[in-house]
């Protein structure tokens, strides 16, 4: 039966539950598994450690190789992303790292093209040289010029962190030619955007954000074809960046409400963004729902809606940003995003702190993640915080700098 996306979010990855005689997702915490014998046990090890699936009569062997609770979440996410398979990791950054290691190793190529802006951690991983890869950073229209014979991967994010710039995924895929493209789909989620349908080879999530949605789980996941998934599982088995089954359980449980949460948070964000436009304290509002923030007209085509993230530039610069983040009462001043509760943070001081100065966001920029609260309450909080005189900006500035 072909299901619509909302039904899929509720039912995907649960096909074996009835045969197990259970209705809720089973949580299997086994670190090791009984072996059927030396021969079949050894064969199971061989198959799983090289990225394959379990076989009838075999064993899951060891939790670093396979876990059924994690595998059910992966199956569900793959279906939502229109992918053959998905592979889950201990965090979004573990997923990014595994993609870099697997694709450069498989292709024996050492060069990455990275479209800025990117999440600060991804930018930092590539710029740091930790993985001994070479990276060329470029703008979305600079991909073709940045490609080399030894380019293994093109990386992009849309909407991009923290200014919510939208990158034309199909255009980058066309420019990349035969080189696989990785799209960080964390901000859009499969509710709004399907990178694989646009030609991307891999769609990645920090599952910590919207997929989890409740601020209580850290994880990462990559959706792709079966061949790339095998390479990623092989990398995961070797490096050990596995997702804990409890994280997979919480994420899978959360997927059921993902479409409803995403739509409601997006509606709230639209109301808050409209109000922010009217404020003299706010010099600029970045929100993909506004045509100024979407010059290519990608909302409605590439992604079905603007999402629930807003970035604002304060007329009063850094001091005003420090005062705002110190004065909110309903918003929590904290990094991360995508939770049912609203968060506010200063990217230049926090998530984008390790980014090179030429690519660092403005000191006047503050990022808002809109949750499920009544937008009227969020607006009331922002109204009092934007006009508060109690932020003690000098002290806050000294602490951050
Ligand atoms: C948070 C984030 C990451 C990193 O994920 P972690 O789960 O924190 O490791 C990667 N990309 C984007 C867009 C993010 O927001």
pLDDT digits (tens, 9 = 90+) for 218-232: 999 999 999 999 999
Specify if 58 maps to a domain: no
Asked whether residue 232 falls in the same domain as residue 274, the answer is no
CB contact set of 254 (below 8 Å; sequence gap of 6+)? 211, 212, 213, 214, 217
Asked whether residue 206 falls in the same domain as residue 320, the answer is no
Give me the pLDDT at residue 301, please. Answer: 96
How far, in Å, from the CA of 280 to the mean position of ligand 1? Answer: 32
Characterize the bridge pairing of strands 134-138 and 111-115: parallel
The yes-or-no verdict on residue 23 having pLDDT over 60 is yes
The yes-or-no verdict on residue 359 having pLDDT over 90 is no
Query: What ranges make up the beta strands (E) of 123-180?
Result: 134-138, 151-157
Type and span of the H or E element at 332: strand 332-333
The yes-or-no verdict on residue 401 having pLDDT over 80 is no
Q: Is 45 a catalytic residue?
A: no
Asked whether residue 142 falls in the same domain as residue 250, the answer is yes
Asked whether residue 274 falls in the same domain as residue 218, the answer is no
Q: What is the CATH number of the domain that holds 280?
A: 3.90.1150.10
The residue from 192, 224, 255 where one domain ends is 255
Asked whether residue 80 falls in the same domain as residue 175, the answer is yes
Q: Hey, is 285 helix, strand or coil?
A: strand
Asked whether residue 172 falls in the same domain as residue 300, the answer is no
For the chain, the average pLDDT equals: 95
Specify if 51 maps to a domain: no
List ligand 1's pocket residues with C-beta within 6 A.
Answer: 91-93, 119, 121-122, 157, 161, 184, 186, 206, 208-209, 218, 220
Asked whether residue 141 falls in the same domain as residue 230, the answer is yes
Inter-residue contact 37 to 49 (CB < 8 Å): no
- Rg of the chain, C-alpha, whole Å: 22
The dihedral formed by the CA atoms of 206, 208, 212 and 217, expressed in degrees to the nearest 10: 140
Give me the pLDDT at residue 398, please. Answer: 56
From the list 343, 55, 15, 94, the residue with the least C-alpha distance to 209 is 343
The yes-or-no verdict on residue 390 having pLDDT over 60 is no
The dihedral formed by the CA atoms of 135, 179, 220 and 237, expressed in degrees to the nearest 10: -90
Give me the pLDDT at residue 334, please. Answer: 96
- Of the chain, the end-to-end C-alpha distance in Å amounts to 56
The residue from 255, 273, 301 where one domain ends is 255
Give me the pLDDT at residue 351, please. Answer: 81
Specify if 338 maps to a domain: yes
Q: What is the CATH number of the domain that holds 101?
A: 3.40.640.10
Mean pLDDT of 104-124: 95
Exactly one of 14, 64, 110, 279 is catalytic; which is it?
Answer: 64
Give me the pLDDT at residue 50, please. Answer: 97
Specify if 15 maps to a domain: yes
Asked whether residue 201 falls in the same domain as residue 216, the answer is yes
Specify if 96 maps to a domain: yes
Specify if 355 maps to a domain: yes
How far, in Å, from the CA of 365 to the mean position of ligand 1? Answer: 19
Count of domains in the chain? Answer: 2
Q: Which of 88, 91, 93, 354 to mutate to test the pocket of ligand 1 (most atoms within 8 A of CB)?
A: 93
CA atoms within 13 A on the CB side of 283: 13
How far, in Å, from the CA of 96 to the mean position of ligand 1? Answer: 9
Asked whether residue 264 falls in the same domain as residue 250, the answer is no
Give me the pLDDT at residue 392, please. Answer: 52
**What is the span of the domain harbouring residue 89?**
5-30+67-255
Exactly one of 119, 210, 233, 367 is catalytic; which is it?
Answer: 119
Give me the pLDDT at residue 30, please. Answer: 98
Residue 157 CA: nearest ligand 1 atom is: 13
Q: Hey, is 152 helix, strand or coil?
A: strand
% of the chain at pLDDT higher than 70:
97
Asked whether residue 208 falls in the same domain as residue 77, the answer is yes
**Quick one: tokens of 62?**
């060891």
Mean pLDDT of 277-288: 98
Asked whether residue 118 falls in the same domain as residue 232, the answer is yes
Give me the pLDDT at residue 355, please. Answer: 83
Specify if 226 maps to a domain: yes
Give me the pLDDT at residue 338, please. Answer: 97
Mean pLDDT of 102-117: 96
Asked whether residue 142 falls in the same domain as residue 173, the answer is yes
The residue from 189, 222, 255 where one domain ends is 255
Q: How confident is the model at residue 186 (pLDDT cuts 50, 70, 90)?
A: very high
From the list 210, 207, 230, the residue with the least C-alpha distance to 219 is 207
Q: How confident is the model at residue 14 (pLDDT cuts 50, 70, 90)?
A: very high
Give me the pLDDT at residue 1, please. Answer: 80
* Span of 171-185, 192-206, 277-291, 354-368 with lowest mean pLDDT: 354-368
Q: Is 109 a catalytic residue?
A: no
Residue 218 CA: nearest ligand 1 atom is: 7
Give me the pLDDT at residue 399, please. Answer: 53
Q: Rounded CA gap, 126 and 337, in Å?
A: 22
Q: Is 236 a catalytic residue?
A: no
Q: Is 360 a catalytic residue?
A: no
Give me the pLDDT at residue 241, please. Answer: 98
Specify if 239 maps to a domain: yes
CB contact set of 213 (below 8 Å; sequence gap of 6+)? 254, 257, 258, 261, 338, 339, 340
């Amino acid at each position: 039966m072909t299901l619509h996306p909302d039904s899929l979010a509720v039912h995907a990855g649960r096909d074996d539950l009835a045969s197990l005689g259970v209705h809720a997702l089973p949580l299997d915490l086994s670190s090791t598994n009984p072996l059927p014998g030396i021969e079949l046990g050894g064969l199971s090890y061989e198959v799983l450690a090289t990225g394959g699936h379990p076989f009838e009569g075999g064993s899951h062997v060891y939790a670093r190789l396979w876990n059924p609770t994690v595998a059910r979440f992966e199956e569900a996410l793959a279906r939502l992303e229109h992918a053959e398979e998905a592979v889950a990791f201990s965090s979004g950054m573990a997923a990014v790292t595994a993609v870099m290691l697997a694709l450069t190793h498989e292709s024996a190529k050492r060069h990455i093209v990275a479209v800025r802006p990117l999440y600060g951690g991804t930018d930092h991983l590539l710029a740091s040289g930790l993985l001994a890869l070479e990276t060329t950073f470029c703008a979305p229209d600079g991909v073709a010029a940045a490609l080399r014979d030894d380019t293994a991967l093109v990386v992009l994010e849309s909407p991009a962190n923290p200014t919510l710039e939208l990158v034309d995924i199909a255009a980058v895929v066309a420019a990349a030619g035969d080189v696989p493209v990785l799209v960080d789909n964390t901000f859009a989620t499969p509710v709004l955007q399907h990178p694989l349908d646009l030609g991307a080879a891999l769609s990645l999530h920090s599952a910590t954000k919207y997929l989890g949605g409740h601020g209580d789980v850290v994880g990462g996941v990559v959706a792709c074809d079966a061949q790339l998934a095998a390479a990623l599982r092989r990398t995961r088995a070797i490096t050990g960046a596995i997702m804990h089954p409890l994280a997979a359980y919480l994420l899978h449980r959360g997927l059921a409400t993902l479409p409803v949460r995403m739509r409601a948070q997006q509606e709230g964000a639209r109301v808050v963004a409209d109000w922010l436009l009217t404020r003299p304290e706010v010099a600029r509002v970045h929100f993909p729902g506004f045509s100024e923030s979407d010059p290519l007209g990608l909302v409605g085509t590439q992604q079905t809606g603007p999402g629930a993230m807003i970035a604002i530039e304060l007329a009063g610069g850094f001091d005003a940003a420090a005062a705002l983040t110190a004065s909110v009462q309903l918003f929590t001043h904290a990094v991360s995003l995508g939770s049912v509760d609203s968060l506010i943070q200063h990217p230049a001081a926090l998530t984008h702190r390790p980014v090179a100065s030429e690519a660092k966001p403005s000191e006047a920029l503050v990022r808002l993640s809109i949750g499920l609260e009544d937008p009227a309450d969020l607006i009331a909080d922002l109204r009092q915080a934007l006009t508060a005189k109690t932020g003690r900006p000098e002290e806050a500035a000294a602490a951050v700098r």
